[in-house]
């Protein structure tokens, strides 16, 4: 297909090269509808000075879902608006390749110890090299690089953060 990709309203994509991991991350940021200024119509009634932030892993699979859930729940008053920050990987436009690449790229970030069995099995399944055991550096990236970036560049409330995914 040669059609333009679908975008999520009020969201942006940026790339961060991590010092902690040595890897590049595709960061997707979804802002509340009333992020800049309130209006007199739904869903823009109120802005909040500092927004809670949801740091979301597995972005390729869940970013749109979580963004829409938070926005809908905020619209109906069951939660506050929040910034959703998705932590992902540079993606291929082919869905099957994007899935396999994301699955391979998250392995070092999500595993605390090296596992030769995991690497062997998933390298065969995904058709590409899979490495494990770098979760401590991924945690440093989140804690020291990503959170700092988000809190320096967005109206983020440092007392209201959650990691999901």
The reply to whether 4 falls in a domain is no
CATH number at residue 142: 3.40.50.1820
Range of the domain at 84: 11-92+138-164
The reply to whether 97 falls in a domain is no
Which of 112, 51, 55, 37 has the alpha carbon at shortest distance from 79? 51
9/30 Cα distance (integer angstroms): 8
Which of 125, 58, 117, 49 has the alpha carbon at shortest distance from 87? 58
Helix (H, G, I), strand (E, B) or coil at 120: helix
pLDDT greater than 90 at residue 111? yes
| Torsion sign across C-alpha atoms 99, 104, 105, 106 | positive
Which of 150, 139, 143 has the alpha carbon at shortest distance from 84? 150
63/38 Cα distance (integer angstroms): 25
Instruction: Enumerate residues 6+ apart whose C-beta is below 8 A from 79.
Output: 70, 73
pLDDT greater than 90 at residue 99? no
Helix (H, G, I), strand (E, B) or coil at 141: helix
pLDDT greater than 60 at residue 1? no
The reply to whether 57 falls in a domain is yes
Compute the mean pLDDT over every residue in the chain, rounded to the nearest whole number: 90
CA atoms within 13 A on the CB side of 14: 12
21/138 Cα distance (integer angstroms): 6
Tell me how many domains the chain contains.
1
The reply to whether 32 falls in a domain is yes
The reply to whether 109 falls in a domain is no
pLDDT greater than 80 at residue 8? yes
For the entire predicted model, the pTM comes to 0.90
Whether 16 and 59 have beta carbons less than 8 Å apart is answered as no
- What is the band of 43 on the pLDDT scale with cuts at 50, 70, 90? low
Q: Point out which residues pair with 144 in neighbouring strands.
A: none
The reply to whether 143 falls in a domain is yes
């Amino acid at each position: 297909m040669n059609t333009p990709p679908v975008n999520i309203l009020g969201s942006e994509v940026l790339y961060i090269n991590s010092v902690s991991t040595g890897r590049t991350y595709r960061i997707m940021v979804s802002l509340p509808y009333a992020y800049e200024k309130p209006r007199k119509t739904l869903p823009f009634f109120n802005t909040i000075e500092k927004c809670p932030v949801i740091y979301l892993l597995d972005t390729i699979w869940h970013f749109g879902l979580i963004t829409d859930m938070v926005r809908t729940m905020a619209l109906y008053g069951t939660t506050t608006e929040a910034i959703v920050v998705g932590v992902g990987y540079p993606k291929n436009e082919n869905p099957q390749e994007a899935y396999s690449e994301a699955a391979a790229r998250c392995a070092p970030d999500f595993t605390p110890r090296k596992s030769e069995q995991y690497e062997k099995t998933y390298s065969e399944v995904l058709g590409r090299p899979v490495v494990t055991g770098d979760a401590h550096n991924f945690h440093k990236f989140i804690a020291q690089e990503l959170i700092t970036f988000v809190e320096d560049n967005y109206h983020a409330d440092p007392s209201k953060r959650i990691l999901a995914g």
